[in-house]
Amino acid sequence: MFAFFNKRKEQHKLQDKIELDMNNIPKHIAIIMDGNGRWAKERNLPRTMGHRAGVETIREIVKECNRLNIRYLTLYAFSTENWKRPQNEVNTLMELLVQYLRNEFDELNRNDVVINQIGDISKLPKVCQKELLSAYERTKNNKGVVMNLALNYGGRDEILHAVKNIVKAAKEDLISIEKIDESLFENYLFTSGMPDPDLIIRPSGEKRISNFLLWQCAYSEFWYSNIYWPDFKVKDLHRAIYDYQHRDRRFGGVK
């Protein structure tokens, strides 16, 4: 029995000593930041406190992605379906967004982070739009990680948005139907000019995509865990990347 427990201890020590292959770091990581509400519920706290705790996790993960030279980090912050939530929770999320951009701006900018957004932000409160656009304008020339905040974002909505704009361009003779291919289509997505995510992480125990980056995730690697987002640490990010580095990515071909 003691040998069994000693073996388990050794396994945990090995997990804590993960060494990443710095020549095989994902260019683009996307995260579905899930589990804030359940984290709060288990502690008999309001759901809004879970969202506040989740902001602390964002700070550490962005910092580590920058240190690892990950080029793009896309954070699923507010979906097109999240408007169905209680109004006080939606209001809190919008307030947290503004607070985050104001409180964290100086440090993010100091660390060369580009603060970008994807999604239809025209539906967000005016103060949110103003802070997002201002943050992007002031950081767009930075050379560090591009942090995409997915706000009022939905994969289906993004695809419809692209289709409508392609049809409009075709009607105006700006493009010909014969020229429409995957490359052209991707130019009309919110992620235009960015590589597809190599790795998509979803904490909280859920194992679904939830309308996130539906076009872009065609050959992404997925990593799930039972950890709620507020408890997600740098070591968990390392575990996800380590797992990614030991997968055989064939993209439909054969090695």
Q: Provide the whole-model pTM.
A: 0.91
Average pLDDT of span 132-143: 98
CA distance 147 to 182: 24
Average pLDDT, the chain: 93
Percent of the chain whose pLDDT exceeds 70: 93
SS3 at position 88: helix
Domain contains 190: no
Q: Do the strands 146-153 and 199-202 form a parallel or antiparallel pair, or are they unpaired?
A: unpaired
Q: Residues 226-249, buried b or exposed e (16+ Cβ, 10 A)?
A: ebbbbbbeeebbbbbbbebbeeee
Domain contains 8: no
Structure tokens at 165: 């704009």
Q: Where are the alpha helices (DSSP H) in 1-71?
A: 2-16, 36-41, 47-67
pLDDT digits 0-9 by tens, 19-47: 999 999 999 999 999 999 999 999 999 99
Domain contains 217: yes
CATH number at residue 132: 3.40.1180.10
pLDDT value at 10 more than 80:
no
Domain contains 219: yes
Domain contains 95: yes
Range of the domain at 102: 26-154+196-245
Amino acid at 7: K
Residues tagged active-site = 34, 82
Residues whose CB falls within 8 Å of the CB of residue 190, separated by 6 or more in sequence, listed in order: 118, 119, 153, 158, 161
Number of domains composing the chain: 1
Domain contains 252: no
Domain contains 255: no
At 107, the pLDDT band (50, 70, 90 cuts) reads very high
Euclidean distance between the first and final Cα of the chain, in Å? 43
